[in-house]
Structure 1
Amino acid sequence: MKHLSIIVPAGNAILDTIVGTHGLFKMANARQKQIGKAQEDIFDIDLVGISNEVVYNKGLFQVSPTKTIADIKKTDLIVVSGISGNIERELKNNAPFVDWIKRQRVENDAEIASLCKSAFIVAETGLLNGKNCATHWTVHDLFKQKYPQVNLIPEKIISEDNGIYSSGGAYSFLNLILYLIEKYYGRETAIWCSKVSEVDYDRSNQNQFTIFSGQKDHSDESIKEAQIFIEAHFEEKLSVEALANRFAISRRNFIRRFKKATLNTPLEYIQRVKVEAAKKSMESSTLNINQIMYTVGYNDEKAFRNIFKKYTGLSPIEYRRKYNREMAFS
């Protein structure tokens, strides 16, 4: 029998990632025995904390870990439940997990899965350096700044790299847990769990949920002015050359400074601002796709469709059908 450690973070945690992970693995254990593919549970499951009792939401919720990290000498799979709130504060709250996770990986070859923003805890171990990782889209910029040696894959809901797994934001953790269930229990059981839990199976992209908000937490005032200008004139035809001239910066230096400050090239920033404006229009207006395309400064239908899909994972028609209020309820 393998051993599963579901981490119960100290401080602020996303309780659903603890309860949901525990529930799905228990369900998979029961299903394997029910269909005769196992005589005993595939995983012995423990909720693992720093202490024996963890209180959340000012005492509103309480979780009692079945074991502490001091109790667990060897584990096969570690699922790090989601954290919330101030990242730096939560990293301090959960610092004792870092060495324990690293030791389990190095000494016991444990596999590790981070859910949502708990990718920060795993990144603190150094085990993600040079590897791919996913996390919640709201902290992509912070993650890239804090861990430049990690290859963040912003569009992915699930990332796997040599036994280290990670999920995108919020309830996409369920997709990662089903992915792990497929690996350890087989696809038949994973699909059964997805149907019983009514979780969409094989979802892999989180771009459609992203709300782009340009990174302005930097000290380059000229670039900040350029960002504001782009956001105010997204409906116009904007070029990198014209923007560089407008702010009296050489084209090469403008691109370098823009990328350093915003983590996007100027062209990427222009495209993302235009796509975000198009998304908002598709969600709330009755304009057709071509009309929306023109209002955000595109004239080429194919180019608009390709750029839109690049940043959302959906075609304009698919996005509108899914998120426009009138179409969703028609």
Structure 2
Amino acid sequence: MKTISILVPESAVMEAVADPRYLFTAANQFLQAAGRPELFNVQLVGQTREIRLHGGAFSVHTDKLLDEVTDTDLILIPALFGDMQRAVELNRDTIPWIVKHHQKGTEIASLCVGAFLLASTGLLDGRQCSTHWAFSNEFSNTFPEVNLVDGGIITDDQGLYTSGGANSYWNLLLYLVEKYTDRDTAILAAKYFAIDIDRESQAAFTIFNGQKDHNDEEIKQVQDFLENNYQEKISVDQLADQFAISRRSLERRFKKATNNTVVEYMQRVKVEAAKRDFEKSRKNINEVMYDVGYTDSKSFRSVFKRITGLTPIEYRNKYYREPELA
């Protein structure tokens, strides 16, 4: 048997507690139906017997308190809700418990922004990690020693697992089911829960918001200029001249402030504008390309695919719907 300990933190997202319990319990049923023994012993673990979530709208009754867990194979850390710093602080007492069990050989998996609690243990220092794309800037600022995988769905680094944003955690749960059972069981679970198995990126869902939580006011001005003039083809040298900053200094300060190079930032701003066009209009690819300041079709398609994980036509087909006639 594999013991799965689902931590129920204060300020947890209710679904991120219930869904893994549901999945691993269902996996037991799939195994039984195939004439095989159940594999997973699933338990809810918390600091108290009852944990009230979402302002008291939900109440979770744990199976065990932290100090009652002697051995477990996997600890799952659900997504947190609200202010991340406050949520981590509310669960500060769980950190030594997580570390202790990891040192005993227990694997640890965080779902979505549960990565904030996992990273607070120090176990992710120098390792790869995924989290919700909307929290990537905050996560990078809070944990600069962790290697955040931009747009990643799943990371697996020596028994430490993380997942991307929101429902991406289903892909990590399927990954773990396959690891502990087999591919057939994971595929059955994917079909039963209607999950796109083996999805590798959350890039198609990402909305780019430039990192402006920094104190370099000149760089903020450069960012604003790029965002307001994405239709233009602007070189780094032109920016340096316009803002009276040497190119070397501009590139160094920009990367430090935004975690993007100037060119990367320009590309992401342009692609974000192109995405909006594809979502709202039937403009062809060349029209959109020119609207966002590109003149080379091959370059535009390459950058768009790298950032979103989809070709321009795939993106439009995914998100655009013809308006219904009145």
TM category (shorter chain) comes to: over 0.9
Q: Would the aligned equivalents of 1:194 and 1:201 in 2 still touch at CA under 8 Å?
A: yes
Indicate the residue corresponding to 2:112 in structure 1.
Answer: 116
Q: Distance in 1 between matches of 2:323 and 2:263?
A: 32
Query: Is 1:85 matched with 2:82?
Result: yes
- Residue identity matched to 2:13: I
Q: Distance in 2 between matches of 1:31 and 1:210?
A: 34
Indicate the residue corresponding to 1:65 in structure 2.
Answer: 62
Q: Distance in 1 between matches of 2:283 and 2:95?
A: 51
Query: Is 1:220 matched with 2:216?
Result: yes
Q: Distance in 1 between matches of 2:65 and 2:300?
A: 53
Query: Is 1:18 matched with 2:17?
Result: yes
- 1:1-330 correspondence runs (5 A): 1-10=1-10, 12-38=11-37, 41-106=38-103, 108-326=104-322
Q: Would the aligned equivalents of 1:321 and 1:327 in 2 still touch at CA under 8 Å?
A: no
Q: Would the aligned equivalents of 1:308 and 1:314 in 2 still touch at CA under 8 Å?
A: yes
Structure 1 residue matching 2:55: 3-state secondary structure: helix
TM-score, structure 1 as length reference: 0.96
The structural deviation recorded for 1:145 is: 1.3
Structure 2 residue matching 1:113: 3-state secondary structure: strand
Q: Distance in 2 between matches of 1:72 and 1:210?
A: 38
The structural deviation recorded for 1:201 is: 1.1
Structure 1 residue matching 2:173: 3-state secondary structure: helix
The structural deviation recorded for 1:57 is: 2.0
Q: Distance in 2 between matches of 1:169 and 1:100?
A: 25
- Residue identity matched to 1:13: A
Q: Distance in 2 between matches of 1:97 and 1:327?
A: 50
The structural deviation recorded for 1:37 is: 2.7
Q: Distance in 1 between matches of 2:159 and 2:94?
A: 18
- Residue identity matched to 1:77: L
The structural deviation recorded for 1:185 is: 1.2
Query: What is the CA RMSD across the aligned residues, in angstroms?
Result: 1.2
Count of aligned residue pairs for this structure pair: 324
- Residue identity matched to 1:113: A
Structure 2 residue matching 1:59: 3-state secondary structure: coil
The structural deviation recorded for 1:312 is: 0.4
TM-score, structure 2 as length reference: 0.97
Q: Distance in 2 between matches of 1:327 and 1:192?
A: 37
Per-residue CA distance 1:199-235 (angstroms, 9 max, x = gap): 1111111000000011111111111110110011100
Q: Would the aligned equivalents of 1:166 and 1:176 in 2 still touch at CA under 8 Å?
A: yes
Q: Distance in 1 between matches of 2:119 and 2:198?
A: 25
The structural deviation recorded for 1:325 is: 1.9
Per-residue CA distance 1:17-54 (angstroms, 9 max, x = gap): 1111000000111211221232xx21211101111111
| Compared CA separation, residues 310 and 193, structure 1 to 2 (3 A) | same
Q: Distance in 1 between matches of 2:69 and 2:323?
A: 52
Q: Distance in 2 between matches of 1:13 and 1:324?
A: 34
Structure 2 residue matching 1:307: 3-state secondary structure: helix
The structural deviation recorded for 1:183 is: 0.4
Q: Distance in 2 between matches of 1:280 and 1:13?
A: 33
The structural deviation recorded for 1:71 is: 0.8
Structure 1 residue matching 2:322: 3-state secondary structure: helix
The structural deviation recorded for 1:327 is: 9.2
Which runs of 5 or more residues in structure 2 are unaligned?
A: none
Percent of aligned pairs with the same residue? 48
The structural deviation recorded for 1:162 is: 0.8
Q: Would the aligned equivalents of 2:13 and 2:53 in 1 still touch at CA under 8 Å?
A: no
| Compared CA separation, residues 327 and 173, structure 1 to 2 (3 A) | farther
Structure 1 residue matching 2:76: 3-state secondary structure: strand
Structure 2 residue matching 1:326: 3-state secondary structure: coil
Structure 2 residue matching 1:4: 3-state secondary structure: strand
Per-residue CA distance 1:50-75 (angstroms, 9 max, x = gap): 11111112221111111111110211
